[in-house]
Structure 1
Amino acid sequence: MAANPAFSALFDRDGATLVDLTHPMRPGMPVWPTHPPFCQEVAESYERGDVALNHALCLSEHSGTHFDAPLHFIRGGRSIDRMPPERFFGRMAVIDARDAAPCEAIGTERIAAFEAGHGPIEAGDAVFFHFGWDRFWDDPAPQDRFLRDWPGLSGAAAALLVQRGARIVGSDCLSIDRFGSTDFPAHNRLLGADILIGENFANLGRLPAFADLVTLPLPIVGGSGAPLRAFAILRPASNPHPRTQA
């Protein structure tokens, strides 16, 4: 297929590349234990004599790579369709936290160390934590490794990112709060500050400390969140030495 001229105009001119941060959606993929599984059933097919192929889907608002909107934990918070579109685009910081212990709630020192080495997190940044947990996504069912013992953020770390003015905070784990949390401090602090939470992201290990993020969530009316397609844009000046995936 010939190259898309519009794509070339946007990216090829400065040597930019795209990294897909989205897990493909398929039956049997990991889901939060109380959420419905992702189901894809044939509604029309050529084999049945239909003129087109069509699937019926059943899924949670929090299926696969997705955003949590403030309404997910905050009564009266904004639903995903009411989030301003400019929140979905902009600079992202990627904090390497692959050495976090299972079930650890990482603290503010992780953020301070990142800023000391790479520069400050600025108001309007998206901040993602690369725990390396996406390597367990495709483990055979019932995905015990992905669905157990993941690390997350402490309430203090979430509060610091609120102070920094982050627009999105996310990770490659099932939840931004650590496995076993019952009070969900990161969810409550971030969503309470009208900050989107990104969960189940993929390929964060292919990104440098800073990149550009493009996300396209579904505008579900009244939705507590939405599945999305997410990409990072890597430009040569910002990507001299991308980290090796765990």
Structure 2
Amino acid sequence: MIDITRPIYPGVPVWPGDTPFSYELTWRIADGGSVNVGKLTTTTHLGTHLDAPWHYVDDGGKLESVPLEALIGPCRVVDARGQEALTVDFLKTIQLAERTLFYSGQPNRWETFPLEFMHVLPEAVQYMAAQGVRLYGTDAPSVDPLTSKDLPGHKAFARAGVYIVEGLALEGVAPGDYELICLPLRLEGAEAAPVRAILR
């Protein structure tokens, strides 16, 4: 099994202005407690995470609407390094799968949050959906540029009915076919959740 989940640790970079991650012990055996118990404070878009459609369209489905069948099954890892934006022309040069993960060259551990990364053009989303893609995975932190306010990529995915996993750790993973297991926390009513993603 290959773990393609970004590690979570104090100081892990998050989207600028979003809630930083913290973990602290609220009970300690060393202080006389019967157990050690921790408390998490975090954004739902932490590290490797699944976006629910409600994140980017107000009438979109919340996290519980995402079918597990979209998140588990055969997948393909594609080397997309050198692509500033994912285009139809590039997609025509590769084979797509129902679950396709794109490695754009992001390292598995960010020292600082990346300001530039591969985004997805709306027409590329339409093309992928027409080819049967149901889940789009990326090592980038978003499918739209950092400064985007209208989120054309996200909204194109919503219209196409394709789900999005962002922040995958794909450095060192050979392109090819795998089985994907990508399970979010069961946060009912949420717009996103961290996932544990592995390839087998």
Contact 1:77/1:192 (8 A) holds in 2: no
**Alignment partner of 2:121 out of 126, 131, 154:** 154
**Alignment partner of 1:211 out of 168, 178, 198:** 178
Give the corresponding residue for 2:64.
Answer: 81
Taking the aligned partners of 2:77 and 2:150, their CA distance within structure 1 comes to 26
Taking the aligned partners of 2:99 and 2:171, their CA distance within structure 1 comes to 13
Could you tell me which runs of 5 or more consecutive residues in structure 1 were left unpaired when the two chains were aligned.
Answer: 1-17, 116-120, 234-246
Give 1:157-176 correspondences, 5 Å limit.
157-176=124-143
Percent of matched pairs sharing the same residue? 31
Contact 2:79/2:175 (8 A) holds in 1: no
Taking the aligned partners of 1:222 and 1:182, their CA distance within structure 2 comes to 24
**Alignment partner of 1:201 out of 168, 173, 178:** 168
Give the deviation of 1:175 after TM superposition: 0.6
What per-residue deviation string (whole Å, max 9, x for no partner) do you get for residues 160-213 of structure 1?
A: 112223221121111122333333221111123332111110035413322110
Give 1:11-22 correspondences, 5 Å limit.
18-22=1-5
Tell me, what secondary structure is at the counterpart of 1:76?
A: coil
Taking the aligned partners of 1:75 and 1:84, their CA distance within structure 2 comes to 19
1:110 maps to a residue whose letter is F
Give the corresponding residue for 2:106.
Answer: 133
RMSD, aligned α-carbons: 1.6
Taking the aligned partners of 1:192 and 1:155, their CA distance within structure 2 comes to 10
Give the corresponding residue for 1:118.
Answer: none
Larger radius of gyration: 1
Normalised TM-score (structure 2): 0.93
**Alignment partner of 2:159 out of 187, 192, 197:** 192
Taking the aligned partners of 1:194 and 1:219, their CA distance within structure 2 comes to 20
2:175 maps to a residue whose letter is P
Normalised TM-score (structure 1): 0.76
More helix by share: 1
Taking the aligned partners of 1:159 and 1:225, their CA distance within structure 2 comes to 23
Tell me, what secondary structure is at the counterpart of 2:93?
A: helix
Give the corresponding residue for 1:90.
Answer: 73
Give the deviation of 1:64 after TM superposition: 1.1
Taking the aligned partners of 1:232 and 1:56, their CA distance within structure 2 comes to 29
Give 1:202-241 correspondences, 5 Å limit.
202-233=169-200
Aligned residues: 200
Could you tell me which runs of 5 or more consecutive residues in structure 2 were left unpaired when the two chains were aligned.
Answer: none
Give the deviation of 1:22 after TM superposition: 0.4
Tell me, what secondary structure is at the counterpart of 1:94?
A: strand
Give the deviation of 1:51 after TM superposition: 1.0
Give the corresponding residue for 1:67.
Answer: 50
1:85 maps to a residue whose letter is L
Give the deviation of 1:76 after TM superposition: 1.7
Q: Are 1:51 and 2:34 counterparts? A: yes
Of the structure 1 ranges 147-156 and 219-228, higher mean CA displacement relative to structure 2 is found in: 147-156
What per-residue deviation string (whole Å, max 9, x for no partner) do you get for residues 4-63 of structure 1?
A: xxxxxxxxxxxxxx1001012111111111320011111111121111111100111111
What per-residue deviation string (whole Å, max 9, x for no partner) do you get for residues 116-150 of structure 1?
A: xxxxx24xx11111011124x342xxx1xx42111
Contact 2:78/2:175 (8 A) holds in 1: no
